[in-house]
């Protein structure tokens, strides 16, 4: 995986015009990536100190950094670099995981790949800004921010998500209006739909995207969809559903009794096929389903959500469609939440720059997240060490301590050392 990153960094055109080219762009990118992977802002400082004392360091041994630039030099070197240069690293790792069979459990209804898309903000300031910032006016105050549309491969029974190439929500050339999440989703679909076979993917997204232009785009690209559908934003559709409830057999229902470990729940599935998405002659027709969960004894409503989809629905198929629709939350729970609260410091300003620094650094952070996920899926020794150390914090604390004081010429040597010192059984 590090080789894939190095190859992409090596393809970045040289933007420096003077003779001061002491450090390579490749070294700057790998050095920044190492900080995110180790979840250690001081990692490079420790490795410079190790180089001074011992003549070698772990930035070189583990990440292939030939010469470690200073933090300021890294920011200056990377600021002009667009994040799109690193997009193929995401897809290369995805292809390798798929080819080796590590994604077999990441499938949903009709054996499609479930890709969840969701936008989130990762930077906001009233003072720091660049040309790629979104500008928001609130009560005579101006805020500058950055947002990104995250894309992850998920599975209903999988505790981890596989991060895919993101789409940044930034000002677009030739557009007067500010960029938005819906436009970012359209760009992501248009750019990446060809990477999948026809009908291979089911896109999961929230109510913001449950509208005709998005549905038409997804179907034109041979991609399925399951999109959250709220009543307040789809009046025509819900008026039609109300009429169907008055017709015998118009609205189908299935009830299932479930034990949650503490009490029984009643799961009520409802669905209808071929309902209009909006109220005009050119409306697209979709299928609709909903799940409402009640406390079986008290009758209290515990959960409710509804979706539109192009997957056909019946008594059997409504269950996996609803299950996959609920998996949309994994982009927030197993993706955004982990990035914000479990060591990656997703919202920390590592360097804003004047051009692309903020977006490029976030891309490297997402790659670090992907690298750890790929190792957790594919490397048995990594899995064993993580399981033995139990908590994420302990694992990264050990990584930071070991690489500060000891030198490891490769990742294999580091994992073997941890494996043996923990006395994990073969």
CATH number for position 132 = 3.90.350.10
For the chain, how big is the Rg over CA atoms in Å?
24
Residue where a domain stops, chosen among 282, 316, 339 = 339
Looking at the structure, tell me whether residues 194 and 320 fall in a common domain: yes
Looking at the structure, tell me whether residues 316 and 175 fall in a common domain: yes
Looking at the structure, tell me whether residues 67 and 192 fall in a common domain: no
Residues constituting the chain: 426
Looking at the structure, tell me whether residues 126 and 269 fall in a common domain: yes
pLDDT reading at 204 higher than 70: yes
The residue with tokens 């997957």 is 311
Q: How confident is the model at residue 134 (pLDDT cuts 50, 70, 90)?
A: confident
Residue where a domain stops, chosen among 309, 339, 369 = 339
Percentages helix, strand, coil for the chain (3-state, rounded to 5) are 45, 20, 35
Q: How confident is the model at residue 19 (pLDDT cuts 50, 70, 90)?
A: low
Q: What is the mean pLDDT of residues 228-253?
A: 92
More confident residue, 140 or 58: 58
CA neighbor of 25 nearest in space, from 77, 83, 81, 89: 77
Q: Which two tokens stand for residue 139?
A: 């009560």
Looking at the structure, tell me whether residues 256 and 135 fall in a common domain: yes
| Helix runs in 55-137, H state only | 58-63, 71-78, 87-99
pLDDT of amino acid 335 = 78
Residue 44 lies in a domain: yes
Please say whether the beta carbons of 108 and 324 come within 8 A: yes
CA neighbor of 266 nearest in space, from 319, 302, 318: 302
Cα–chain center distance at 14? 30
pLDDT of amino acid 14 = 85
Looking at the structure, tell me whether residues 184 and 293 fall in a common domain: yes
Round to whole Å and give the CA distance between 67 and 48: 9
DSSP E strands: which ranges in 111-174? 113-125, 134-138, 141-154, 162-163, 167-169
**What is the extent of the structural domain holding 185?**
85-339
Residue 71 lies in a domain: yes
DSSP E strands: which ranges in 1-74? none
Residue 275 lies in a domain: yes
Round to whole Å and give the CA distance between 70 and 44: 8
Looking at the structure, tell me whether residues 273 and 132 fall in a common domain: yes
Residue where a domain stops, chosen among 311, 339, 367 = 339
Looking at the structure, tell me whether residues 216 and 310 fall in a common domain: yes
- Using DSSP's 3-state secondary structure scheme, residue 344 falls into coil
pLDDT of amino acid 133 = 86
- Using DSSP's 3-state secondary structure scheme, residue 388 falls into helix
Residue 222 lies in a domain: yes
Looking at the structure, tell me whether residues 38 and 99 fall in a common domain: no
Residue 297 lies in a domain: yes
Helix (DSSP H) and strand (DSSP E) numbers for the chain: 16, 11
pLDDT of amino acid 274 = 94
Looking at the structure, tell me whether residues 321 and 390 fall in a common domain: no
pLDDT of amino acid 67 = 94
Q: How confident is the model at residue 32 (pLDDT cuts 50, 70, 90)?
A: very high
Round to whole Å and give the CA distance between 199 and 112: 7
Residue 363 lies in a domain: no
Q: How confident is the model at residue 176 (pLDDT cuts 50, 70, 90)?
A: very low
Give pTM, 2 decimals. 0.93
β partners of residue 295: 265
pLDDT of amino acid 337 = 83
Looking at the structure, tell me whether residues 90 and 220 fall in a common domain: yes
The conformation of residue 348, written as its DSSP 8-state character, comes to -
Round to whole Å and give the CA distance between 49 and 80: 29
Round to whole Å and give the CA distance between 46 and 33: 15
Between 12-21, 60-69, 116-125, 256-265, the lowest mean confidence (pLDDT) is in 12-21
In the Cβ-directed half-sphere of 234, how many Cα atoms lie within 13 Å? 28
The conformation of residue 269, written as its DSSP 8-state character, comes to E
CA neighbor of 115 nearest in space, from 86, 99, 94, 101: 94
pLDDT reading at 179 higher than 70: no
The H or E element that residue 182 is part of is helix 181-192
Residue 372 lies in a domain: no
Query: Environment class of residue 83 by beta-carbon count within 10 Å: exposed (0-12), middle (13-18) or buried (19+)?
Result: buried
Tens digits of residue pLDDT in 281-316: 899 999 999 999 999 999 999 999 999 999 999 999
How many domains does the structure of the chain reveal?
2
The conformation of residue 329, written as its DSSP 8-state character, comes to G
Q: Which two tokens stand for residue 309?
A: 């989809």
pLDDT reading at 366 higher than 80: yes
Q: Which two tokens stand for residue 207?
A: 């109510």
Residue 370 lies in a domain: no
Q: What is the mean pLDDT of residues 176-204?
A: 89
Round to whole Å and give the CA distance between 295 and 178: 45
Q: How confident is the model at residue 20 (pLDDT cuts 50, 70, 90)?
A: low
Query: Environment class of residue 263 by beta-carbon count within 10 Å: exposed (0-12), middle (13-18) or buried (19+)?
Result: exposed
Cα–chain center distance at 175? 26
pLDDT reading at 416 higher than 80: yes
- Using DSSP's 3-state secondary structure scheme, residue 126 falls into coil
CA neighbor of 163 nearest in space, from 282, 314, 29, 1: 1
Looking at the structure, tell me whether residues 42 and 93 fall in a common domain: no
pLDDT of amino acid 330 = 85
Query: Environment class of residue 209 by beta-carbon count within 10 Å: exposed (0-12), middle (13-18) or buried (19+)?
Result: buried
């Amino acid at each position: 995986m590090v080789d894939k990153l190095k190859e992409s960094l090596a393809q970045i055109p040289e933007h420096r015009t003077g003779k001061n080219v002491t450090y390579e762009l490749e070294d700057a990118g790998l050095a920044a990536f190492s900080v995110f992977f180790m979840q250690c802002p001081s990692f490079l400082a420790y490795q410079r100190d190790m180089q001074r004392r011992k003549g070698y360091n772990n930035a070189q041994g583990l990440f292939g950094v030939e010469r470690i630039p200073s933090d300021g030099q890294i920011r200056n070197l990377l600021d002009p670099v667009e994040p799109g240069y690193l997009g193929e690293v995401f897809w290369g790792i995805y292809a390798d995981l798929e080819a080796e069979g590590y994604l077999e459990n990441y499938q949903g209804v009709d054996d499609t790949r479930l890709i969840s898309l969701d936008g989130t903000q990762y930077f906001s300031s009233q003072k720091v800004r660049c040309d790629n910032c979104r500008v928001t006016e609130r009560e005579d105050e101006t805020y500058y921010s950055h947002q990104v549309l995250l894309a992850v491969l998920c599975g209903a029974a999988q505790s981890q998500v596989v991060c895919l190439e993101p789409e940044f929500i930034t000002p677009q050339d030739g557009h007067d209006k500010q960029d938005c999440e819906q436009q970012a989703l359209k760009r992501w679909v248009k750019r990446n739909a060809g990477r999948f076979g026809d009908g291979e993917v089911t896109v999961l997204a929230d109510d913001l995207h449950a509208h005709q232009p998005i549905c038409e785009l997804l179907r034109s690209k041979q991609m399925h969809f399951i999109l959250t559908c709220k009543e307040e934003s789809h009046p025509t559709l819900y008026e039609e559903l109300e009429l169907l409830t008055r017709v015998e057999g118009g609205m189908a229902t299935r009830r299932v009794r479930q034990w949650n470990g503490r009490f029984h729940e009643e799961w009520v599935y409802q669905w209808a096929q071929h309902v209009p998405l909006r109220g005009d002659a050119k409306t697209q027709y979709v299928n609709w389903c909903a799940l409402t969960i009640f406390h079986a004894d008290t009758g209290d409503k515990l959960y409710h959500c509804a979706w539109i989809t192009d997957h056909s629905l019946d008594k059997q198929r409504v269950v996996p469609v609803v299950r996959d629709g609920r998996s949309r939350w994994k982009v927030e729970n197993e993706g955004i939440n982990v990035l914000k609260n479990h060591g990656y410091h997703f919202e920390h300003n590592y360097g804003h720059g004047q051009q692309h620094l903020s977006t490029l650094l976030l891309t490297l952070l997402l790659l670090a997240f992907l690298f750890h996920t790929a190792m957790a899926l594919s490397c048995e020794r990594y899995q064993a060490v993580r399981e033995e150390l139990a908590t994420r914090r302990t694992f990264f604390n050990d990584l930071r301590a070991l690489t500060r004081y000891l030198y490891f010429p490769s990742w294999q040597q580091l994992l073997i050392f941890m494996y043996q010192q923990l006395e994990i059984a073969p």
